[in-house]
C-alpha cells in the first residue's frame, strides 16, 4: 500500500489505517478472535497504522491490539489516546467520568497504555479530548517530556479547534490532528484543515465512512445491537435516516460508474483532499477490511470530485453527528 507522512517529524504510515475501536467498544457484538484475524490480514495488505485508545472498552481494546500485533512491531505504527477519567467499576460508557488531562493523569494513562499494548514506545499519542481545566500548553509540555523519555515518538490532538492546534504546535511539533471527517461530516474544512496545511500537520479522519452509513449497507437501525451507540445519534433517527439514505443512493450510483463500492469512493474522496490525510476506517470483517484497503489505489479526477461534492456537499446531510452531550467534549 502507498505510504503517507504525518507531520514533519518522520512519521510514515499506510495511506489507509485501521480504526480498532469498534472491535471492542460502541457497536456491540465483539468477537476478539475475528478481530485478531482482521488485524493480521491488515498487516498482510500493507496496512501499518492502527488506532486505539485507553477508553475503548475501557482498556480492553488496547490489550486486543497488543495481542494481535505482537511479533509485528517493526511493521506497524500504533496510535493511542488519553484524556478521560475512567472509573474502576461499571460497564462500558458507565465508567467514563469526564475528561482528565492533568499532568499526573497523563503519565499514569501512558504507563497503562504501554503495558496493555506490550510495547516500549507509543508511535503517536493523542490527547483524546480537550480538557477545559488544563491549558493545552501544559498538556503538550507533559507529552513532550514523554517524547524525550522515549515513551512516545510523536504527538497528536483530537477534536480540537484551529486555535488550539496553533497553541499546541508552538510548544512541540504536532504530527497529526484526529477528528471526524467524511463526506457527511465536513466541519474540519472550515478552519482546522487549513491550519494543519499551513503548519505541516497531518490529519487523521475517524469515522471516514460515516459510522458505516456511507457504505450503503446500513438502511435501518433495526439490525443494530441494542448497545450500539448509533441508535442514539441524530443522523440515524427516522426522518434524518430516510433523507440521508437518498444521498447515499446517489453516491452508490457514482461509485458504480467507476466499478467500485460507495465505501471505496468515500475513502478515495478523502485521500484526494490532501496528501497528509490518512483515514482510519473501522472493520471487523475481512471483506470490509479488504474493500477499504483497496480504496488507496482508486484515482479520481477533478470532474469526479465535483460530482461527488454535488451530491454530498456541506449542509446536505440531515441531523447532527453527535448528541449535545457528545458535543460538549469537542471544540467547534
Which positions are catalytic? 56
One-character DSSP codes across 19-80:
E-GGGTSSSS---HHHHHHHHHHHHHTT--EEE--TTTTTTHHHHHHHHHHTT-GGG-EEEE
Query: Roughly what angle, to the nearest 10 degrees, separates helices 32-44 and 286-294?
Result: 30
Sign of CA dihedral 286, 299, 15, 201: negative
Q: How many CA atoms lie within 13 A of 101 on its CB side?
A: 25
d(CA 160, CA 181): 13
Contact 128, 56 (CB under 8 A): no
Rounded Cα distance between 160 and 1, Å, is: 29
- Cross-strand partners of 152: 122
Amino acid at each position: 500500500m502507498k505510504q503517507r507522512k504525518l507531520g514533519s517529524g518522520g512519521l510514515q504510515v499506510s495511506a489507509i489505517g485501521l480504526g480498532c475501536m469498534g472491535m471492542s467498544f460502541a457497536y456491540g457484538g465483539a468477537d476478539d478472535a475475528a478481530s485478531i484475524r482482521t488485524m493480521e490480514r491488515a498487516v498482510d495488505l500493507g496496512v501499518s497504522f492502527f488506532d486505539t485508545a485507553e477508553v475503548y472498552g475501557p482498556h480492553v481494546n488496547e490489550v486486543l491490539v497488543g495481542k494481535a500485533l505482537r511479533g509485528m512491531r517493526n511493521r506497524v505504527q500504533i496510535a493511542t489516546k488519553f484524556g478521560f477519567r475512567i472509573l474502576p467499576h461499571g460497564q462500558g460508557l458507565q465508567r467514563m467520568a469526564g475528561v482528565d488531562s492533568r499532568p499526573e493523569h497523563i503519565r499514569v494513562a501512558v504507563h497503562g497504555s504501554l503495558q496493555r499494548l506490550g510495547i516500549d514506545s507509543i508511535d503517536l499519542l493523542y490527547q483524546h479530548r480537550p480538557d477545559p481545566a488544563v491549558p493545552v500548553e501544559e498538556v503538550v509540555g507533559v507529552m513532550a517530556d514523554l517524547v524525550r523519555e522515549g515513551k512516545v515518538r510523536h504527538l497528536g490532538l483530537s477534536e480540537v479547534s484551529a486555535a488550539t492546534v496553533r497553541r499546541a504546535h508552538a510548544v512541540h511539533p504536532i504530527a497529526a490532528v484526529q477528528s471526524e471527517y467524511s463526506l457527511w461530516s465536513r466541519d474540519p474544512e472550515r478552519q482546522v484543515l487549513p491550519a494543519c496545511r499551513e503548519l505541516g500537520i497531518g490529519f487523521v479522519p475517524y469515522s471516514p465512512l460515516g459510522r458505516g452509513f456511507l457504505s450503503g449497507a446500513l438502511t435501518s437501525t433495526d439490525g443494530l445491537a441494542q448497545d450500539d451507540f448509533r441508535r442514539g445519534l441524530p443522523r440515524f433517527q427516522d426522518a434524518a435516516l430516510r433523507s440521508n439514505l437518498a444521498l447515499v443512493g446517489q453516491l452508490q450510483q457514482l461509485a458504480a460508474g467507476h466499478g467500485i463500492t460507495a465505501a471505496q469512493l468515500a475513502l478515495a474522496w478523502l485521500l484526494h483532499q490532501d496528501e497528509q490525510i490518512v483515514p482510519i476506517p473501522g472493520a471487523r470483517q475481512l471483506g470490509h477490511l479488504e474493500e477499504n484497503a483497496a480504496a488507496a489505489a482508486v484515482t479520481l479526477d477533478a470532474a469526479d470530485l465535483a460530482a461527488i461534492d454535488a451530491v454530498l456537499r456541506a449542509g446536505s446531510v440531515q441531523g447532527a453527528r453527535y448528541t449535545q452531550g457528545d458535543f460538549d467534549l469537542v471544540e467547534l
